[in-house]
C-alpha cells in the first residue's frame, strides 16, 4: 500500500510540474497580454489594427522575411546538393561548422558584419591597401542589404540540414531512369527530384521565413532606426513610448501570424517525413568526378567556411 502511495505521489509530481511550468511561463503571460490588449475594450484593439503603421510594419516584416527566405534557399540548395550527393574530405567537419552561426548571439553577428563589411572593415581595408584606393570600394550602409546578408548567414544551415538530409536518402536511380527515358539532367531535376524535395524544401523555407519574420536583434543593430519588424515595434511601444496596450495588441497579432505559420510548418514537416523508397546516405553519396563537380564541391565548401 505504501509503495502504491509513493508511486501515485511520483506520478502526481510528474504531472503537476510541467502543468505548473506551462501555466507560469505560457498561460499567465498570454493572459497578461490579452488583459492589456483589451484594456480599452474592442475599440482599442480595432484602433491599433486599423492603423496604417501596423500594416506597414506587418508588410515590412513579411517582405524582408520573404526576401531572406528566397536568398537563403538559393544559397542553400547547391550546398544541400553537394552534401547529399558527394563524399569529400572534411565533409562531417563542415557539416558541424554549418550549425555554428545558428547559435551565435545576434550582437556578435552584427558586430562581426560591421567589422568585416563596414567602411573600415577588414575587406575594405584590405582592398584599399591592395589596390591603392583612397576610399573604401565596398559600401554597404546599414539597411536592408546587411539585414538580408545576416539572415542568410543565420539560416543557411536550416536549408543545408533539412533539404540536404532528405536529399541524401533519395534514390539517384530515379534520375538515372529519367535520363534513360530521354530526359535531360535539367528536366530530371525539375520533374523528378524537385517534386520529391518539395515537402522538405517547403518546410525549410517556412522555418527560415518564421525566423526572419520574428527577427529583432539583427533589425535593431543592422537595419537602422527606420526599419521595424513587429518585434521591433513591440519593443519600441513598450520601452520607449510606454503604450503597453498597443504593444500587447501587436504581440497578439504576431502570435497569431506565428501560430498559423507554425501549424503550416508542422504539416509540411510531417509530409517530408512520409516513407519513400529511400537509400542509406552511404549508398547515395559518391566522390566528385571531373573538374566541374570538383569545382562545385570546392565552391560550396569555401562558402560554408566563410559562413561558419
Q: Which of 16-25, 47-56, 80-89, 287-296 has the lowest mean pLDDT?
A: 287-296
| pTM across the whole model | 0.77
Share of the chain above pLDDT 70, in %: 72
Q: Which residue has the higher pLDDT, 263 or 209?
A: 209
| 278 pLDDT higher than 60 | no
- Whether the per-residue pLDDT at 232 is higher than 80: the answer is yes
pLDDT at position 246? 80
Lowest average pLDDT, out of 9-13, 106-110, 134-138, 225-229, goes to 9-13
Has residue 122 got a pLDDT over 60? yes
- Mean pLDDT is lowest, of 56-65, 140-149, 151-160, 228-237, for 140-149
3-state secondary structure string, the chain? CHHHHHHHHHHHHHHHHHHHHHHHHHHHHHHHHHHHHCCCHHHHHHHHHHCHHHHHHHHHHHHHHHHHHHHHHHHHHHHHHHHHHECCCCHHHHHHHCCCHHHCCHHHHHHHHHHHHCCCCHHHHHHHHHHCCCCCCCCCCCCHHHHHHHHHHHHHHHHHHHHHHHHCCECCHHHHHHHHCCCCHHHHHHHHHHHHHHHHHHHHHHHHHHHHHCCCHHHHHHCCCCCCCHHHHHHHHHHHCCCHHHHHHHHHHHHHHHHHHHHHHHHHHHHHCCCCCECCHHHHCECCCHHHHHHHHHHHHHHHHHHC
Lowest mean pLDDT among 17-26, 235-244, 275-284: 275-284
pLDDT greater than 50 at residue 8: no
Q: How confident is the model at residue 37 (pLDDT cuts 50, 70, 90)?
A: low
Residue range 43-99, pLDDT digits in tens: 667 777 788 888 899 999 999 999 999 999 999 888 888 887 777 777 778 777 777
Which of 88-97, 141-150, 154-163, 283-292 has the weakest average pLDDT?
Answer: 283-292
Q: Say what the pLDDT of residue 79 is.
A: 85
Which span out of 62-71, 106-115, 117-126 was modeled with the highest average pLDDT? 62-71
Amino acid at each position: 500500500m505504501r509503495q502504491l502511495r509513493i508511486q501515485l505521489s511520483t506520478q502526481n509530481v510528474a504531472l503537476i510540474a510541467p502543468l505548473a511550468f506551462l501555466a507560469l511561463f505560457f498561460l499567465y503571460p498570454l493572459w497578461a497580454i490579452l488583459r492589456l490588449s483589451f484594456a480599452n475594450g474592442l475599440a482599442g484593439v480595432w484602433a491599433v489594427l486599423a492603423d496604417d503603421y501596423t500594416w506597414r510594419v506587418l508588410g515590412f516584416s513579411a517582405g524582408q522575411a520573404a526576401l531572406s527566405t528566397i536568398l537563403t534557399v538559393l544559397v542553400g540548395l547547391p550546398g544541400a546538393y553537394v552534401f547529399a550527393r558527394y563524399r569529400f574530405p572534411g565533409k562531417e567537419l563542415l557539416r558541424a561548422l554549418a550549425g555554428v552561426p545558428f547559435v551565435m548571439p545576434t550582437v556578435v553577428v552584427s558586430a562581426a558584419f560591421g567589422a568585416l563589411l563596414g567602411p573600415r572593415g577588414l575587406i575594405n581595408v584590405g582592398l584599399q591597401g591592395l589596390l591603392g584606393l583612397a576610399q573604401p570600394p565596398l559600401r554597404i550602409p546599414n539597411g536592408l542589404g546587411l539585414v538580408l546578408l545576416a539572415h542568410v548567414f543565420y539560416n543557411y544551415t536550416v536549408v543545408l540540414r533539412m533539404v540536404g538530409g532528405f536529399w541524401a536518402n533519395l534514390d539517384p536511380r530515379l534520375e538515372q531512369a529519367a535520363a534513360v527515358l530521354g530526359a535531360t539532367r535539367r528536366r530530371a531535376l525539375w520533374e523528378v527530384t524537385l517534386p520529391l524535395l518539395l515537402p522538405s524544401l517547403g518546410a525549410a523555407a517556412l522555418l527560415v521565413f518564421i525566423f526572419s519574420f520574428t527577427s529583432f536583434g539583427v533589425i535593431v543593430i543592422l537595419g537602422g532606426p527606420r526599419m521595424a519588424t513587429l518585434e521591433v515595434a513591440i519593443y519600441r511601444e513598450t520601452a520607449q513610448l510606454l503604450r503597453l496596450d498597443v504593444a500587447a495588441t501587436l504581440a497578439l497579432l504576431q502570435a497569431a501570424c506565428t501560430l498559423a505559420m507554425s501549424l503550416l510548418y508542422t504539416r509540411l514537416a510531417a509530409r517530408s517525413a512520409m516513407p519513400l523508397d529511400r537509400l542509406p546516405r552511404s549508398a547515395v553519396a559518391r566522390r566528385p568526378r571531373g573538374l566541374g563537380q570538383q569545382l562545385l564541391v570546392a565552391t560550396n565548401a569555401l562558402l560554408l567556411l566563410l559562413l561558419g
